[in-house]
């Protein structure tokens, strides 16, 4: 497993939720530390704490904005959202947190790390396609 993927899983195992783990990855990549930002985006986790829009998607959108605030909202985030809707919709019958996790609370532990990793990988690929070095 790549070092950054290992680090992502380490953050998740340490208790960071999906969105805050992804933003932490972007901050670490920039050699920055911003605990207040990481704490703020934790409100996006668990589908804004209510099963709505998946925190992996919202966290990755924030990650893209940390990496490239000039182009993220206009170009990269819409591309990520289209990918997420297609991929997670096909895999789980919907792209919101409630659809991905489903009615079984144990599914969160089984599904969420894979969803966060796949979303992180896609966000990295988008960054690369826009000329960012992200290894």
Distance CA 129, CA 124 (A): 9
Distance CA 127, CA 129 (A): 5
Greatest C-alpha distance within the chain:
40
Distance CA 25, CA 9 (A): 11
Distance CA 122, CA 97 (A): 18
Secondary structure class of 32 (helix, strand, coil):
coil
What percent of the chain has a predicted confidence (pLDDT) above 70?
99
The structure tokens listed for 133 are 């070095």
The structure tokens listed for 4 are 């950054």
* pLDDT, tens digit, 9 for 90 and up, residues 11-43: 999 999 999 999 999 999 999 999 999 999 999
Query: Does position 118 have pLDDT exceeding 90, yes or no?
Result: yes
pLDDT for 8: 96
**Domain range annotation of the chain:** 3-129
Rounded to 5°, the CA angle 56-25-18 comes to 25
Task: Read off the pTM.
Answer: 0.93
- The DSSP secondary-structure symbol of 1 reads -
């Amino acid at each position: 497993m790549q070092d950054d993927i290992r680090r992502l899983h380490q953050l998740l195992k340490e208790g960071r939720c999906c969105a805050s783990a992804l933003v932490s990855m972007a901050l670490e990549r920039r050699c920055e530390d911003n605990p207040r930002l990481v704490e703020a985006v934790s409100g996006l986790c668990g589908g804004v704490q209510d099963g709505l829009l998946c925190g992996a998607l919202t966290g990755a959108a924030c990650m893209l904005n940390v990496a490239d605030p000039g182009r993220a909202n206009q170009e990269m985030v819409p591309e990520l959202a289209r990918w997420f809707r297609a991929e997670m919709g096909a895999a789980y019958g919907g792209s919101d947190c409630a659809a991905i996790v489903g009615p079984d609370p144990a599914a969160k532990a089984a599904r969420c790390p894979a969803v966060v990793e796949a979303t992180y990988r896609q966000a990295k690929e988008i960054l690369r396609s826009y000329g960012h070095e992200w290894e």
